[in-house]
Structure formats: structure tokens, C-alpha cells
Homo-oligomer: A and B are copies of this chain.
Amino acid sequence: MNLKKEVIALAKNAQLAFRANLGLTADLKNRALKDMGRSLLAKKETILKANRKDILAASASGASPAFIDRLSLDDKRIKEMADSILEVARLPDPLGRTIKSWRNSSGLKINKVRVPIGVIAIIYESRPNVTAECAALCFKSGNSVILRGGSEAMKSNTAIYRILKGVLNKRAIDAALINMVATTDRAAVEILLKLNDYIDLVIPRGGESLIRKVVHSSLIPVIKHYKGICHVYVDDWADLNMAQKICFNAKVQRPGVCNAMESMLVHKDAAARFLPGMAKMFREAGVRMRGCPMTRRIIKGVSLASDRDYRTEYLDLIVSIKVVNSLKEAISHINEYGSHHSDTIVTDNKKHGYEFLKYVDSACVYVNASTRFTDGYQFGLGAEIGISTDKLHARGPMALEELTTYKYEIIGSGQVRK
């Protein structure tokens, strides 16, 4: 019961802080952000000390090397964390802009203006850098944030969190704009997810199972950054040299991220000319291939792809390959097996490109470019909180603007409804 009361009090407080600070200037926020970046660097020993405790405990409890790696901080990672906050400080302020403005038939002036959302809860895994980055993005966009990271990183997160709060206090900014549920009790998350009267949005940052758990429990709207099962479709009208470069880049340049290609589709009339050279490049880069029967007739030594392969996000040097009979089949396959994240057609046929753009139901649809460009920085939007695979509110790279909403401000001179 005490935990419940505490979590409710924290959320209520975050909401009051949000409302009281709607007038915070961009300038003051940016100064605070710069201080936060500098302060993280100045106090890195405190962070590293806390982090060593987390690492020791995680090692003792048998965590995997990959887990420990994600949990671990060092000078370089703290520098990156600080840099990313300084970068957020330099981004243009997303608030206050008038999106639309018009006068209605009664003479009312209607302004649709960009405002912060309110209270945003971030539920994340044991990656301490998320603490700093999400706090910075939410603060810059005028929201109150409630952070809840993985319990294995609690000491590191708390150290970072205290440094950020310290800056707010020093700048006489309401410290309740940045909050942390600093208990390892997992019940706290369940409580948090029911507080739809105080929290406006939940963003889970982590693997699919974390996201699904949040969706199942939450009464608050959730924006989901699910996996990326991204495709490149090599059309019969493709420049095959370009197609090879794009497929290679999309698969190999950084295989562990959500915008990497997981599945390659090739038109039947291009397959015999395209696949052997592509397979050679893939093999030289250590990419394992799983293909449909037709693929296996063209490239020897490829294992058979199952239906499940086409639904798998490998995040690894593995690719599933399928030869398709038509552009239409490629589009159907992508809509059915993909994750509506990022998909590319390589073609010199404008009509085919147009059709692909129109009928592929994904956040980012490309003609003749690598799927790897789906990223806030690459788009020129700045730092992002993730790539939304949702269709509502935010789709694709979710940057500062997507952390805002709008309201209508209406100015009259005594108008009443007839």
C-alpha cells in the first residue's frame, strides 16, 4: 500500500509540475541542458562508482556478457551521454509554433498551437544511458518525465538522475519535471501503468517482450517501437549494381539495429542475374543466407527459409531471401510478413516505384536507398526517442516534435452559438 501511495504521489506531483511550468522559456531549458551535459562529465567518478556496484551485482547473479555490456559505463560512454544532451540543447525548440491559424464563420480566431503532451513515463531496460537521453528529450519538449529503468541498473540510473536534478535545483527550475521511480520492486511498474489520470503517455524502450508486457498492463496510451523486419525488394527493372550496394549496406553496415534489412525479395526475372554476385558479397562478409526453393536453385548451399524466418528480426548477419513473381507479390509479402518499419524497392521504373510507395503500409518506404536511413539524425530531425512502428500520433523516427501535441487557442469578442 505504501508503494502505491508513493507512486501515485510521484505521478501527481509530476503532473502539477508539468502544468505549472508551461511558461518555461526555451533559453532557460537550453541552459539547464548544457549544465546537465557538463555536470555528467564533471561527476563521472560518482557515476562510474555506482555503475561498478551494479555490474558486480549483475555478474554475481550470472548475467550474460551482452547484458553486462549494455549495463556498463566507461569514460567514452559517459562522454557520449553528455554529448547527446548537449546536442539536444542545440536543437530548435519544438514548442509554441502555430501549426494553423484561421478565422471561422463566427469571426473567432482559431490558432492550433504546438504544446507539450504532459507527463511521459519511460519504461526501459538496464541501459543507464537511456536515463540521461530520455530525460533530456522530455525536458526539452516541455514534458514531465517519470523514468523507470531496469532494476539491475538502479544505482547507475540513480546517480545520473541525481546529477540532473542537481542542475534543476541550481537553476531554480522545478525539480519535479524529472522523476524516477527509484525502487527495484517490480510492482511499481504495474501501479504506474494504471495511473491514466496523471500520466499521458508511456514509452517502453527495450525488446519486444518488455513492450508487449507494457501494452497488456497499461491503461495509458503506449507508443510502441517494435522490431524492424525491413525488406529490400529488387525489381526486374532494378539497376543490379545499385541493388547490390543497397542490399549489402542494409544488411551488413550495422546488422544489430532495427532499420537493418532482414529479408531480401528478388523479382524472378532478375534472380538469376542478381543472386550469384550478391551471394558472393554476402559470403565474403560472413552473412548466412536462408532462401526459398527458387533461391536455393540459383545459389548453392543456402539453407531453406521457413515461414518463421520471414517473420524474424535476426539483428545479426543472417538474411532471408525470397524470389517473387511480381511487384504485387513483393508488396503483399512485405505487408504480411514485415513489421511496417522500413522497406525499399530498387527499380528504374517510375511506375513501379510509385506503386511500392503507395501500397507498402510502412512508416518509411524507400525507392533506391538503404533502409538504414530511418533514423532521426539521418532524416535531419535530431535526436530521437525511438522509431515508432505505431500509426497513431507518431510514426517512424520519434523526435522532439513527436513528443508534443497541439491545442486550440480561440480568441473571440463575445461570440455565442446560435
Q: Name A's B-contacting residues (CB within 8 A).
A: 18-19, 22-23, 102, 104-106, 108, 110, 117-118, 196, 200-201, 215-216, 219, 221-223, 239, 242, 245-246, 248-250, 253-254, 335, 353, 357-359, 361-370, 372-374, 378-380, 390-393, 395-396, 405-417
Chain multiplicity (copies): 2
Shortest A363–chain B CB gap in Å is: 6
A374 to B104, CA, bound (A): 12
- A-B contacts, 24 listed (Cβ < 8 Å): A18-B361, A19-B359, A19-B361, A23-B358, A102-B380, A110-B380, A245-B416, A246-B416, A248-B416, A249-B416, A253-B417, A254-B417, A362-B407, A364-B408, A365-B407, A365-B410, A366-B412, A369-B412, A369-B415, A370-B417, A373-B412, A374-B408, A396-B407, A396-B408
Q: How far is the CA of A110 from the CA of B380 in the complex (A)?
A: 10
Bound complex: CA of A339 vs CA of B215, how far in Å?
Answer: 24
CB–CB A392/B22 < 8 A? no
A265 to B: closest C-beta gap in Å: 17
Contact B392 A221 (CB under 8 A): yes
Q: Who on chain B is nearest to A367 by CB?
A: B411
Bound CA span A219–B224, Å: 12
A249 to chain B, nearest CB (A): 4
B414 & A246 in contact (Cβ 8 Å cutoff)? yes
User: How far apart are A404's CB and chain B's nearest CB, in angstroms?
Assistant: 10
The reply to whether A406 and B417 contact each other, CB–CB distance below 8 Å, is no
Apart from A249-B416, A253-B416: 5 A-B pairs, beta carbons within 8 A: A104-B379, A108-B373, A353-B411, A362-B407, A395-B406
Q: Are B373 and A106 in contact (CB under 8 A)?
A: yes
Asked if B410 contacts A373 (CB within 8 A), the reply is yes
| A201 to B248 CA separation, bound complex (whole angstroms) | 36
Q: Which residues of B contact A118 (CB under 8 A)?
A: 361, 391
B368 touches A413 (CB 8 A): yes
**Least CB separation from A370: chain B residue:** B416
CB-CB under 8 A from A374, the residues of chain B are 408
Interface residue from B201, B335, B364, B407 paired with A410 (Cβ < 8 Å) = B364
- Chain B's closest residue to A331 (CB) is B19
Nearest-Cβ distance from residue A112 to partner chain B, whole angstroms: 9
A395 adjacent to B367 (CB under 8 Å): no
Please tell me if the beta carbons of A392 and B200 are within 8 angstroms of each other in the complex. yes
Q: Are B200 and A414 in contact (CB under 8 A)?
A: no
A253 / chain B contacts, CB cutoff of 8 Å? 416-417
Chain B: CB-nearest residue to A20: B359
Among B102, B106, B363, B368, the residue within 8 A (CB) of A412 is B368
Which residue of B363, B390, B416 contacts A407 across the interface (Cβ within 8 Å)?
B363
Give A241's nearest chain B residue, CB to CB.
B414
**Cβ of A364: which chain B residues have Cβ within 8 Å of it?**
407-408, 410
Given A117-B391, A392-B221, are A372 and B335 neighbors across the interface (CB < 8 Å)?
A: no
Shortest CB–CB separation between residue A375 and chain B, in angstroms?
Answer: 8
Contacts of A108 in B (CB 8 A): 369, 373
CB proximity of A99 to chain B, nearest CB, Å: 11
Given the known A-B contacts A108-B373, A378-B106, A392-B393, are A411 and B368 also in contact in the complex, defined by CB atoms under 8 Å?
yes
